[in-house]
Amino acid sequence: MMKVAIFLLFVVLIPSQYTHAQSCTIDNAINLMIKSSTESLVSSVLSKVKLDCTSVSARGADVSCPSGYLATACACGMACGSWDIRGDAACHCQCANIDWTSARCCKTRVVG
Amino acid sequence: MMKVAIFLLFVVLIPSQYTHAQSCTIDNAINLMIKSSTESLVSSVLSKVKLDCTSVSARGADVSCPSGYLATACACGMACGSWDIRGDAACHCQCANIDWTSARCCKTRVVG
Amino acid sequence: MMKVAIFLLFVVLIPSQYTHAQSCTIDNAINLMIKSSTESLVSSVLSKVKLDCTSVSARGADVSCPSGYLATACACGMACGSWDIRGDAACHCQCANIDWTSARCCKTRVVG
Same domain, A59 and A41: no
Confidence of residue A105 (pLDDT cuts 50, 70, 90): very high
Distance between alpha carbon B17 and the CA centroid of its chain, in Å?
45
Predicted local distance difference test score (pLDDT) of residue C99: 96
pLDDT tens digits along B77-100: 999 999 999 999 999 999 999 999
CA terminus-to-terminus distance, chain A: 70
Q: Please check whether residues B74 and B35 belong to one and the same domain.
A: no
Please name the member of A30, A73, A79 whose beta carbon is closest to the beta carbon of B104: A73
Query: C103: helix, coil or strand?
Result: strand
Considering only CA atoms, give the Rg of chain A. 33
Domains of chain A: total = 2
Do A59 and A100 belong together in one domain?
yes
A64-78, B35-49, C85-99: least confidently modelled range? B35-49
pLDDT at C4 over 70: no
With an 8 Å Cβ cutoff, are A7 and C6 in contact? yes
Please tell me whether residues C58 and C68 are part of one structural domain: yes
Same domain for A67 and A36: no
Please indicate, yes or no, whether residues B58 and B97 belong to a single structural domain of this protein: yes
pLDDT of amino acid B9 = 52
C57 shares a domain with C41: no
Residue C12, chain A, CB below 8 Å: the answer is no
Considering the domain architecture, whether residues C18 and C39 belong to the same structural domain is answered as yes
- The whole-angstrom separation of Cα C58 and Cα A89 is 29
End-of-domain residue from the set A29, A47, A65: A47
Please tell me the distance from the alpha carbon of residue B70 to that of residue B106, in angstroms, as a whole number.
5
Q: Which domain holds residue B41?
A: 1-47
| pLDDT tens column, B10-64 | 555 555 555 556 667 767 777 777 777 666 666 667 778 899 999 999 999 999 9
Over residues A81-92, the pLDDT tens digits come to: 999 999 999 999
Interchain contact, A49 vs B50, CB within 8 Å? no
Q: Are residues A58 and A105 in the same domain?
A: yes
Mark whether B33 and B78 lie in a shared domain: no
| Rounded average pLDDT over A37-46 | 68
